[in-house]
């Protein structure tokens, strides 16, 4: 779980930094095409100097972070399947395997933490979830 979370957080951070380079130069970057390897030449053509070097470096980091993510996700789901709460949580229609894997028995401190994190309790201040 921790491995997958770290990969997701790190790749998100790198993606935000890449877009920030373009935004700082008033270059709009709608969608995710800025990260695609097929469009990189076109996007790098809009940058020059140190910004281009930094963007290329960040894109290499992003490639390195995206490669192991599917294996880490599969390993997390396999580990979560061994938990006793897996079948119960998977029976809830809108919970996917990643969200359930993140909220198995040993990762839930309080019932309120779980219900709030999966959207069963909109705001804990207004609506008190049963414990």
76-125 pLDDT per residue, tens? 888 888 877 777 777 777 776 666 666 554 554 555 555 555 555 554 44
Share of residues in the chain with pLDDT > 70 (%): 73
Phi and psi for 48 in degrees, rounded to 5?
A: -145, 160
* CB-based contact 22:94 (threshold 8 Å): no
CB 77 within 8 A of CB 56: no
Q: What is the C-alpha separation between 28 and 22, in angstroms, rounded?
A: 7
The answer to whether residue 12 scores a pLDDT higher than 90 is yes
Based on C-alpha coordinates, what's the Rg of the chain? 20
Indicate the average pLDDT of the chain: 80
Question: Region 44-72: what's the mean pLDDT?
Answer: 94
pTM: 0.67
Query: Rounded to an integer, what distance in angstroms lies between the CA atom of residue 8 and that of residue 100?
Result: 16
């Amino acid at each position: 779980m921790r491995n997958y979370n770290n990969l997701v957080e790190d790749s998100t951070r790198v993606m935000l930094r890449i877009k920030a380079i373009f935004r700082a130069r008033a270059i709009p970057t709608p969608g995710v095409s800025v990260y695609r390897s097929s469009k990189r030449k076109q996007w790098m053509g809009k940058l020059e100097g140190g910004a281009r070097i930094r963007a290329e470096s960040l894109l290499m980091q992003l490639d390195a972070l995206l490669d192991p993510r599917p294996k880490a996700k599969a390993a997390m789901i396999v580990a979560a399947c061994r938990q006793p709460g897996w079948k119960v949580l998977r029976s809830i229609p809108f919970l996917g395997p990643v969200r359930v894997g993140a909220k198995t028995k040993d990762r839930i401190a309080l019932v309120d933490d779980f219900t709030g994190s999966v959207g069963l309790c909109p705001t804990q201040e207004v609506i008190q979830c049963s414990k």
